[in-house]
Amino acid sequence: MPKSLKKSCSAQTSISRYFGGLSSSTVPQCGTNKNPAEQQLSRGKKKLSPGDGFGLPTKRAKLSVQDLPVEDLNCEPSSFQSNTKTPVISSRGAAGLCSSTLEKLKGFTCSTEAGDGASSQICDGGSSIRPPQDVAEQHSNTNKLHQPGEEGEEEGDVEEKGGSRFAASKQAFHFSQFANSGGGGGGVSFADLSPPSDSNAPSKRSKKVFTPLEQQVIQLKQQHPDALLAVECGYKYRFFGEDAEIAAKELNIFCHLDHNFMTCSIPTHRLFVHVRRLVSHGHKVGVVKQTETSAIKASGANKSALFARQLSALYTKSTLVGEDVNPVCSLGAVEGGVCGDVVSDPPDSFLLCISESWEKKQLTVGLVAVQPSTGDVLLDCFPDDASRSELEGRVLKINPVEILVPSDLSEQTHRLLQSIAATSAQADDRVRVEKRDSAQFEFASAMNTATEFYCHAQEKGSRSLSSVASLESPVICCLGPLIQYLQEFNLERVLRSESSFRRLSCESEGMILGAATLRNLEILNNQTDGGLKGSLLWVLDHTLTSFGKRLMRNWVSQPLTDPQSLSERQDAVQEILESPSLTLSSIKSLLSHLPDLERGICSIYHKKCSTQEFYLISSGLSRLGLELHALLPAIQSQISSVLLRGLLLDTPDLLAPAHSHLKVLNEKAAKSGNKTELFSDLSGFPVLQERREQIQTVINEIQDHRKEVRLMLKTPALDYTSVSGQEFLIEVKNLRSSTVPPDWVKISSTKAVGRYHSPLLVERYKKLLQLREQLLLDCQKEWTNFLDQFGEHYHTMKRAISHLATMDCLFSLAEVAKQGDYCRPDVCEGQRQIMIRDGRHPAIDLLMGDHNQYVPNLTELQGDGRRTMIITGPNMGGKSSYIRQVALICVMAQMGSYVPACEARLGMLDGVYTRMGASDNIYKGRSTFMEELTEASEIISRATDRSLVILDELGRGTSTHDGIAIAYATLEYFIRDVKALTLFVTHYPPLCELERVYPEHVSNFHMAFLLNEPDINTDDGEVQPEFITFLYQLTEGAAGRSYGLNVARLVDIPVPILHTAARKARELENTVNARRRTKKLLSDLLSISDRSSLMAWLQSHSSLVQHQENTHPAISE
């Protein structure tokens, strides 16, 4: 712990983590912040009253106890005299000063000259109470080497030495620091500052004296007000003001007051960790770097000025591209397969832009989604209704991490985005939504932006412009703001080529899976915790690469509807599964230890990669290309699949440029990041070659000077030494120091020797340092040009990586087929049927394992015959799992996978529509029943006779009669009009009557069970609830009851409640049965047309009628 912090702890001064105006009694532990929320970190908007400001440990003028009157030592501040009777000890800091003392201080400060530097400190007893510093900063302050130009940054930090501490009249002290401090932490708020003047000397009226570094930070902050700025200061990055308070809260690091601003710092080598943490919490982070080096600055005219700094990069969740935030694993770690543990990126990091346009009360939504880290661009334009279901489905498929919307976004869309952001699986993965000026989304403005952008494109400019001009207006309204946004990050290059653009949804290419279907069937995430385990993607994803995982997610969310593509994919999976060839095994092993090549080449394309990352990516691509090229004869002779042959034969030629660029680099220098030795052959780099020659000339002059030094010192064996980074030192023993010429400069010394530079060495060494740093700048420039040349092959490389991702997904589907009892489905175009023999739920079957086998079931649906199944049965009998199983098998079949069944013959479906579950939607303002009917309405409007429709307990969100009526009418509509393949789960017995109305198209089924304990009357007259055993077997016929009391017993509902419920259920059941019998009697009676038949009927039913009148007189009446 810093000494100043220990001293303040012992004195019980009120110093909190963020230096708020808290008394010592409210701080649980000095120097820590147990509850950051209590500090209420503000953005500089909270103003402190004069009374509240006394607790701020602002820098104060130094006072000694001897300089204060005796009567003032034990007095209390006036603001606290009425609240406490506890005497204040002498070392109490600012909070312990009484009003008379403050008046004297005010008078003193008014009489001093506001001149040179930041505010001083108040010291009790002659001791300096300074704001605590973190350990890293303390260590750095003791070991920091002086650099030219840093004195301007450190002014005001030097304590006075000698003399009376109260005589510090040259330092400015302002009473306003106690009364009107800016932010919640006691520092100055950026929002309250005007642009600083060039002069560092304030007038007498000025309230703040800003150091040169603070002035520089203020200017940078005014240019980028919406970003948290990490400013490079030597060996660390510092945050200032409001940014420091936010960073300290999010990163859980120490924040303290320095001069006028709160500040906190992070070490340079941990920048990528902290930037990612800030970005994951939804912040935009800017990295400000020093653009000057000490050697070059020392040779300039303005040697003592501040180091120049400028914003080098901006980062958000979707724009984490660059060597600052993408540290590369060592090659050994990559080969060991542990590279992914260093930095965990989400599989997709899309930036989504949404626009809305209205025409004749019809809403049309346009969207463009771009993933800067991989170069993928998705676009779509579609009509939508008030529920925004179409938009919701696309957002769930894209799974964006950041969304751009206009400021005048409609309320319904705003509610939808709120709902999506609120239901993120993890707090660190929350979606960042940014509102932009609505003027950017206007068609004229967006079209001007797109035209200017694509006209200046060097690659395929006119072609790209013509293709962009043909896009729909809502899409262009998204493209314009997206270009402007990415230009802030220097990532707009991914939008240059039209080959990057891909339509998100095309009904002719993929099965329609809406938002409700993706959610209800748990295709991408489970509904328990929003995670991956238990979802269909979890079952199918056995990919080995990151780019393969991203492609598998696309395959799962959009199954195929093209018969030829589906057949080729199935043939490829079957060949991988059954082929005895070692060629495919060799290819699979090549994919097992690869870095994320897709993100890597995109980082190269943006010219934001390090030498280590480039070598890692290019060497991986080169190795793949060479090994695949060696396997070409075996591929041509042993592989018969059209898809596999096309992928494998095309890839080696596409990867050829990687090998040619890799040969230019020096492997050792590339792995170490040494750009000065990066290029093995300098014949193609004349600038670097000339600079190297200049450096060698200076080194030769220095080496030649060694002969003169030997003669001068009469030491023939003398040689230069290097100590602590200082080179070419002449080391002379102290006993012979008299032989050293007086004009030599002493650099360092020990007890035994002294180390010197001669005047020639001083001059030449300075020149050498300048040339070396100039060489580094030249190398950086040539490195950027080299990356630009490699970027010309970006689209070729991306196509090759796409081939590798497809191979990875095919190997993954083959692994799924090996799990046992999986079969290749027969998918037929033009047929409307579903026949699944012994089908199982893929996720539940995998979760249960071999010990608890999932009970298989038969499913048969025919479009021209029995196309509707009404499924009843007891609660928890397996009805919902069964209908999910049928839908998931259809999805798996059309994405090319084997399915968990003994046999499967399926027709090509154009979509799967589901209505399941019962829950409200607070964000959208919908009740449970409203949510049910909204989803049902969408299915009614979109389903066709080639669709699979699943309705689970429709109508349960309202009264029984209304629910039955709605469910009956809806189901009859699908049977009679839509003619879709339908699975309908219900607990309403009247719906089973549809089998009698439509016997050719409807069948009743129920989940079988065993009734172990029928209802019996006990001695005390209580009715016991039933006890049933679930068989989970689909059986023909309707179930008479749902046996809900069995579920109540399983969850340990109290026994008295169960008995009461059983008795009431028996009474209601008897009443219903009696009504049914009476209805049947009346129906038979009304069908009699002659007297003789009537008398015969009365005679045969006399006993039944008498019993009905005696037991239920009310019903008889």
Q: Which two tokens stand for residue 924?
A: 């959208």
- Let me know: does 200 contact 218? Beta carbons within 8 Å: no
**Count of Cβ atoms closer than 10 Å to residue 20 Cβ:** 27
- Let me know: does 944 contact 923? Beta carbons within 8 Å: no
- Let me know: does 283 contact 40? Beta carbons within 8 Å: no
Asked if the domains 3-145+163-315 and 551-672+789-817 are classified in one and the same CATH topology, the answer is no
Please check the confidence at residue 429 and state whether its pLDDT lies above 60.
yes
| pLDDT tens digits for range 1040-1060 | 766 666 677 667 778 787 777
Q: Of all residues in the chain, what percent carry a pLDDT higher than 90?
A: 38
Q: What separation in angstroms does the CA of 708 have from each of 24, 761, 762, 1077, 1087? A: 68, 12, 15, 127, 135
Q: Beta partners for 860?
A: 835
Please check the confidence at residue 942 and state whether its pLDDT lies above 50.
yes
Q: What angle do CA 676, 678, 680 make, to 5 degrees?
A: 115
User: What's the pLDDT score for residue 406?
Assistant: 94
| Average pLDDT of the residues in 470-478 | 91
As a whole number of angstroms, the distance between CA 484 and CA 471 comes to: 18
Three-state DSSP string of 402-433 = EEEEECCCCHHHHHHHHHHHHCCCCHHHCCEE
What are the backbone angles phi and psi of residue 817, rounded to the nearest 5°?
-65, -20
**Count of Cβ atoms closer than 10 Å to residue 826 Cβ:** 13
More confident call, 601 vs 1030:
601
Q: Which CATH superfamily hosts domain 347-505? A: MutS, connector domain (3.30.420.110)
User: What's the pLDDT score for residue 483?
Assistant: 93
- Let me know: does 314 contact 223? Beta carbons within 8 Å: no
User: What's the pLDDT score for residue 310?
Assistant: 87
- 990 pLDDT band (50/70/90 cuts)? confident
845, 793, 854, 855: which is closest to 659 by C-alpha?
793
Per DSSP, the three-state class of 299 is coil
Q: Where are the domains of the chain?
A: 3-145+163-315, 347-505, 551-672+789-817, 684-787, 826-1053, 1068-1116
Q: What separation in angstroms does the CA of 664 have from each of 602, 619, 786, 801, 1067? A: 20, 12, 10, 22, 90
**Count of Cβ atoms closer than 10 Å to residue 165 Cβ:** 21
| Average pLDDT of the residues in 612-640 | 92
As a whole number of angstroms, the distance between CA 53 and CA 182 comes to: 10
As a whole number of angstroms, the distance between CA 491 and CA 608 comes to: 10
- Let me know: does 983 contact 951? Beta carbons within 8 Å: yes
Place of tokens 């009391």: 1045
- Let me know: does 95 contact 14? Beta carbons within 8 Å: yes
Contacts of 513 (CB under 8 A, 6+ apart): 393, 397, 523, 557, 558, 559, 891, 911, 912
Contacts of 471 (CB under 8 A, 6+ apart): 379, 381, 479
Task: Give the CATH class of 551-672+789-817.
Answer: mainly alpha
Contacts of 107 (CB under 8 A, 6+ apart): none
Q: What angle do CA 565, 571, 575 make, to 5 degrees?
A: 150
User: What's the pLDDT score for residue 359?
Assistant: 85
DSSP 853-874: PPPPEEEEEESSS--EEEEE--
1014, 1041, 1011, 1038: which is closest to 1025 by C-alpha?
1014
1051, 1049, 1028: which is closest to 1040 by C-alpha?
1028
Q: What angle do CA 1029, 1031, 1037 make, to 5 degrees?
A: 110
| pLDDT tens digits for range 776-794 | 999 999 999 999 999 889 9
More confident call, 395 vs 343:
395
Please check the confidence at residue 633 and state whether its pLDDT lies above 80.
yes
Percentages (nearest 5) of helix, strand, coil residues in the chain: 50, 15, 35
| pLDDT tens digits for range 5-61 | 443 444 333 333 333 333 333 333 434 444 443 343 333 333 333 334 333 333 333
- Let me know: does 31 contact 1? Beta carbons within 8 Å: yes
- Let me know: does 912 contact 511? Beta carbons within 8 Å: yes
Q: Which two tokens stand for residue 1042?
A: 């749902």
The HSE-up count of residue 810 (CA atoms within 13 Å, CB side) is 28
Three-state DSSP string of 333-363 = HHHHCCHHHCCCCCCCCCEEEEEEEEECCEE
DSSP class of residue 388 equals -
Per DSSP, the three-state class of 311 is strand
Place of tokens 């199983």: 885
Q: Which two tokens stand for residue 700?
A: 């030769």
Q: Which of 665-677 are b and which e, b meaning 16 or more Cβ less than 10 Å from the residue's Cβ?
A: bbeebbbeeebbe
As a whole number of angstroms, the distance between CA 1083 and CA 1105 comes to: 14
- 593 pLDDT band (50/70/90 cuts)? confident
> Out of 295-299, 449-453, 858-862, which region has the weakest mean confidence (pLDDT)?
295-299
More confident call, 923 vs 940:
940
- Let me know: does 43 contact 191? Beta carbons within 8 Å: yes
Place of tokens 């993120």: 424
User: What's the pLDDT score for residue 334?
Assistant: 41
As a whole number of angstroms, the distance between CA 766 and CA 842 comes to: 71
- 590 pLDDT band (50/70/90 cuts)? very high
| Average pLDDT of the residues in 745-754 | 92
Q: Beta partners for 365?
A: 356, 382
Q: Which two tokens stand for residue 1116?
A: 């008889």
Q: Which two tokens stand for residue 913?
A: 């529509």
- Let me know: does 1007 contact 871? Beta carbons within 8 Å: yes
Place of tokens 């601003």: 261
Q: What is the pTM of this model?
A: 0.73
> Out of 64-78, 657-671, 893-907, which region has the weakest mean confidence (pLDDT)?
64-78
Contacts of 999 (CB under 8 A, 6+ apart): none
As a whole number of angstroms, the distance between CA 522 and CA 66 comes to: 76
More confident call, 27 vs 876:
876
- Let me know: does 119 contact 59? Beta carbons within 8 Å: yes
- 1010 pLDDT band (50/70/90 cuts)? confident
CATH value of 826-1053 in 3.40.50.1980, 3.40.50.10800, 3.40.50.300, 1.10.10.10:
3.40.50.300
Q: Which two tokens stand for residue 1052?
A: 């340990």
Q: How many residues does this entry show for the chain?
A: 1117
User: What's the pLDDT score for residue 67?
Assistant: 43
- 168 pLDDT band (50/70/90 cuts)? very low
Place of tokens 């200082």: 726
Per DSSP, the three-state class of 617 is helix
Whole-number average pLDDT of the chain: 77
Report CA dihedral (603, 605, 610, 612) to the nearest 10 degrees. Answer: 90
More confident call, 839 vs 129:
839
- 672 pLDDT band (50/70/90 cuts)? confident
Q: Beta partners for 236?
A: 233, 267
Contacts of 691 (CB under 8 A, 6+ apart): 771, 774, 775, 778
As a whole number of angstroms, the distance between CA 270 and CA 266 comes to: 7
User: What's the pLDDT score for residue 345?
Assistant: 60
Q: CA 163, 164, 170, 172 torsion: positive or negative?
A: positive
Report CA dihedral (390, 393, 398, 402) to the nearest 10 degrees. Answer: 80
User: What's the pLDDT score for residue 460?
Assistant: 46
Q: Which two tokens stand for residue 357?
A: 């346009």
Place of tokens 């077997």: 1033
At the topology level, CATH places domain 684-787 in: MutS, DNA mismatch repair protein; Chain A, domain 3 (1.10.1420)
Element of type H or E holding 405 = strand 402-406
| pLDDT tens digits for range 247-276 | 999 999 999 999 899 999 999 989 989 999
Three-state DSSP string of 666-685 = CHHHHHHCCHHHCECCHHHC
Q: Which CATH superfamily hosts domain 3-145+163-315? A: DNA repair protein MutS, domain I (3.40.1170.10)
Helix-helix angle 389-398:928-942, to 10 degrees: 90
